[in-house]
């Protein structure tokens, strides 16, 4: 047999999915494990959104749609962005591409701008899929590490220092997964200025925009003016805001030219996003946003609880994330120690030991390029978070 594609063979399975699969298997086997690994809201999709989908089916809205999404949904996306970000940000439906989840929109964005060998800058710790997606389109990921003491935000000069003639774009993510870092406008401006100076595209993943805490406003790369918007692909979706992870609707807002290229890719690959899910997403975006606020308040209370419990435990610590629903727990003081007979040399060792002994699933930092850390999600019930923290305490007390 001839060789499979070298690029395809080099793609690694998502480590977050791998741990989640192990956790689900243990649970299927009847073990009392608690999961803090998967990044999805534990809330159910709101009823009014589910009803819109049922209505779509009953009305036989079940056929192919335009490749980049139905016009009312594209218009609703423009309106939502306008409502969230104000008059400075005005997109037209031709600038919108709806696809099967924000993940796929990120892939399309990278496909649209990357030639083989182009370098794409990623700030680390970063979302696991960025690294593999860049490789999947023939690009080269270039990591710029950030530090916990800087709130996991990059030093602009360190970003500028990695730029070469081959640098094509930067992937930016606020609020961030896995760090929960939220950038204010001046921090965004400092990074955007570098992108304008070096003529780089900006892929700005703002999928957690509804989850910014403590009354801090959400701001976006899109507010920084036309010089930024002409190089920007703003990525978002309905998964996190409306508890719709399984419906697979994400969207990108960009220039008409880039939107056209992305849309052509959709038309020749997935064809179009799911018609029924588009109707559900339309309902989510256009109905009252009160439930989004209710979910945000619940997440904030869980974050506060989790952060205070972690920081009360010896040898582990975390900073308080300002957005998304993750906590990066620093386990550096545990490296080189033995817990319950398990030698801990890495985040992976720690996550495996905690899962097998403590019956708690979380994600090792290595997949995010964050050795010395493990990621918890607080998209879990308060009851489970309490139990998870008790288990962590008992595991570490051995
Ligand atoms: C930073 C980030 N971007 C994108 C996604 C993917 O979102 P979607 O479910 O819309 O594909 C996730 C999901 O975990 C994420 O954390």
Concatenated DSSP letters of 115-145: PTT-EEEEEES--HHHHHHHHHTT-EEEEEE
According to the model, what pLDDT value does residue 265 have?
Answer: 95
User: Is 204 touching ligand 1 by the criterion CB < 6 Å?
Assistant: no
Q: Which CATH class is domain 6-44+291-396?
A: alpha beta
User: Is 205 touching ligand 1 by the criterion CB < 6 Å?
Assistant: yes
Q: Are 398 and 374 in contact (CB under 8 A)?
A: no
pLDDT of 20 > 90? The answer is no
Q: How far is the CA of 105 from the centre of ligand 1 (A)?
A: 10
Q: Where are the domains of the chain?
A: 6-44+291-396, 61-287
Percent of the chain with pLDDT over 90: 91
Q: Whose CA is nearest to atom 14 of ligand 1?
A: 39
Q: What is the pLDDT of residues 285-338, one digit of tens each?
A: 999 999 999 999 999 999 999 999 999 999 999 999 999 999 999 999 999 999
Secondary structure (3-state) at 338: strand
Instruction: Using pLDDT thresholds of 50, 70 and 90, give the confidence band for residue 16.
Output: low
- pTM score: 0.96
- The 8 Å CB, 24+ separation contacts for 151-156 are 151/179, 151/181, 151/319, 152/125, 152/176, 152/179, 152/180, 152/181, 152/319, 152/328, 153/123, 153/181, 153/183, 153/187, 154/123, 154/191, 156/190, 156/191, 156/194
Q: How far is the CA of 240 from the centre of ligand 1 (A)?
A: 8
What is the number of the ligand 1 atom nearest to the C-alpha of 237?
A: 10
Which CATH architecture group holds 61-287? 3-Layer(aba) Sandwich (3.40)
pLDDT of 29 > 90? The answer is yes
Q: What is the pLDDT of residues 41-65, one digit of tens each?
A: 999 999 999 999 999 999 999 999 9
According to the model, what pLDDT value does residue 288 have?
Answer: 95
Q: Find all residues with CB under 8 Å of 150, minimum gap 6, and list them.
A: none
Q: What is the pLDDT of residues 138-176, one digit of tens each?
A: 999 999 999 999 999 999 999 999 999 999 999 999 999
According to the model, what pLDDT value does residue 13 have?
Answer: 75
Q: What is the pLDDT of residues 120-145, one digit of tens each?
A: 999 999 999 999 999 999 999 999 99
């Amino acid at each position: 047999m001839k060789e499979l594609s070298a690029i395809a063979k080099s793609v690694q399975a998502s480590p977050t999915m791998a741990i989640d699969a192990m956790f689900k298997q243990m649970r299927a086997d009847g073990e009392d494990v608690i999961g803090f690994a998967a990044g999805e809201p534990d809330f159910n999709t709101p009823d009014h959104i589910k009803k819109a989908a049922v209505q779509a089916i009953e009305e036989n809205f079940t056929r192919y749609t335009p490749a980049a999404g139905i016009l009312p949904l594209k218009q609703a996306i423009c309106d939502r962005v306008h409502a969230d970000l104000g008059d400075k940000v005005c997109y037209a439906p031709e600038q919108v591409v709806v696809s099967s989840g924000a993940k796929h929109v990120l892939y399309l964005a990278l496909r649209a701008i990357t030639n083989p060998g182009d370098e794409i800058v990623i700030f680390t710790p970063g979302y696991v899929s960025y690294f593999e997606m860049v490789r999947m389109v023939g690009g080269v990921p270039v990591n710029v590490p950030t530090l916990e003491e800087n709130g996991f935000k990059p030093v602009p000069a360190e970003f500028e220092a990695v730029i070469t003639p081959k640098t094509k774009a930067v992937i930016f993510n606020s609020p961030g997964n896995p760090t929960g870092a939220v950038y204010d406008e001046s921090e965004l401006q400092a990074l955007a200025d570098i992108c304008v100076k070096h003529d780089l595209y900006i892929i700005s993943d703002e999928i957690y925009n509804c989850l910014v805490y403590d009354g801090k406003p959400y701001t976006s790369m899109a507010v920084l003016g036309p010089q930024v918007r002409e190089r920007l692909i703003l990525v978002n979706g309905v998964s996190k805001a409306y508890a719709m992870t399984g419906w697979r609707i994400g969207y990108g807002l960009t220039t008409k030219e880039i939107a056209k290229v992305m849309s052509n890719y959709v038309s020749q690959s997935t064809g179009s996003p799911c018609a029924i899910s588009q109707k559900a997403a339309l309902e989510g975006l256009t109905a009252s946003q009160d439930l989004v606020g209710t979910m945000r308040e619940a997440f904030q209370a869980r974050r506060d609880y989790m952060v205070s419990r972690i920081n009360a435990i010896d040898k582990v610590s975390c900073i308080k994330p300002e957005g998304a629903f993750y906590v990066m727990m620093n386990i550096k003081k545990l490296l080189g120690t033995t817990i319950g007979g398990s030698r801990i040399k890495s985040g992976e060792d720690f996550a495996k030991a905690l899962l097998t002994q403590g019956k708690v699933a979380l994600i090792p930092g290595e997949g995010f390029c964050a050795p010395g850390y493990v990621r918890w999600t607080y998209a879990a019930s308060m009851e489970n978070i309490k139990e998870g923290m008790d288990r962590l305490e008992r595991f570490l007390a051995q």
